Amino acid sequence: MVPFALVDVFSDRPLAGNPLAVVPDADHLDDAVMARIAREFNQSETTFLLTPTMDGAAHRLRSFTPAGVEVFGAGHNALGAWWWLAGNGRLDRLGVWHQQLGDVVLPVDVAADRVAMRQEPARFGSTVPLVPLAAALGVDVVAAPAPQVVGTGAAHLLVGVRDRATVDAAAPDTAALRALLLAAGGEGCYVYAVERGEVTAYARFFNPVAGIVEDPATGTAAGPLAGLLHRHGLAGETSVILQGHRLGRPSRLEVRLDGATPVLSGRAVVSATGTLRLA
């Protein structure tokens, strides 16, 4: 009997944002079972809470996609898990804690109305030619900034297009996009349009490498995007990124840059709890 919760992340109301399955007290589950549970929930990610194996961490987080692929980085997987921990009496105070994600330990700041997570410093990788990328996405791609792989824990290809309508029109050829991502060293593809005013960018995320058709809100892509836009003078030190609208799950991701390091923040809401029977 395995308890679980469904947490809608980067939203302040149920049935919006990015749904995450959270499984606490998961030390007794092996990798194969965790992968099967993630397939059962069929969310973009299922996060398991375990005892840390590295000094300084209060909790270890392991996250799997429905395809059984383990993914890393501080995104909606981590934010939703810490929101659940705070709301279920698992934290004896608000403030700064530390989480183990893979082989790194990163701080997370838990407040009553928000969770803020420090990602790894941005690493700028390969660029991808416009023509094959446009063909794989089914829309025109802008030349500047050039489509580039950027990682802050997970590496994603960031692809700028003209406007919201073009973002919404993207219809990826899964096989072609997957091949381009693997060749460039990217995991997923963040298609975005730069905006003016309070909103910095409007985006969609596709990850054929990890078996995610489309993700409603992607913190591990929002952090890199904030860094890329700031590097090219298209955003200041804070960014607001909207995602999930095309899927009917509007999400709001906020990023503050501390030098080259993104600090991702947002809200969440627990929308369901239950028990999974394994035998």
Residues 23-55 have pLDDT tens digits of 999 999 999 999 999 999 999 899 999 999 999
Under CATH, to which class is 123-264 assigned? alpha beta
Please write the tens of the pLDDT for every residue from 50-104: 999 999 999 999 999 999 999 988 899 999 999 999 999 999 999 999 999 999 9
Q: Tell if the pTM clears 0.85, that is, is over it.
A: yes
Topology, domain 2-118+267-276: Diaminopimelate Epimerase; Chain A, domain 1 (3.10.310)
> What's the confidence (pLDDT) of residue 33?
97
> What's the confidence (pLDDT) of residue 211?
87
For residue 1, name the pLDDT band (cuts at 50, 70, 90). Answer: very high
Mean pLDDT of the chain: 96
Does residue 179 surpass a pLDDT of 90? yes
More confidently predicted of 177 and 279: 177
> What's the confidence (pLDDT) of residue 117?
94
Please write the tens of the pLDDT for every residue from 12-22: 999 999 999 99
For residue 279, name the pLDDT band (cuts at 50, 70, 90). Answer: confident
- Spell out the domain ranges in the chain: 2-118+267-276, 123-264
> What's the confidence (pLDDT) of residue 235?
97
**Catalytic residue selected from 45, 120, 187, 254:** 45
Q: Percent of the chain having pLDDT more than 90?
A: 96
Residue 243 tokens read as 């995602």
Please write the tens of the pLDDT for every residue from 190-247: 999 999 999 999 999 999 998 889 999 999 999 999 999 999 999 999 999 999 999 9
Domains 2-118+267-276 and 123-264 share a fold: yes
> What's the confidence (pLDDT) of residue 267?
96
* 45 is known as an active-site residue: yes
DSSP-assigned beta bridge partners for residue 22: 5, 47
Q: HSE on the CB side for 200, CA within 13 Å?
A: 22
Please write the tens of the pLDDT for every residue from 108-132: 999 999 999 999 999 999 999 999 9
**C-alpha span between 182 and 122 (Å, rounded):** 19
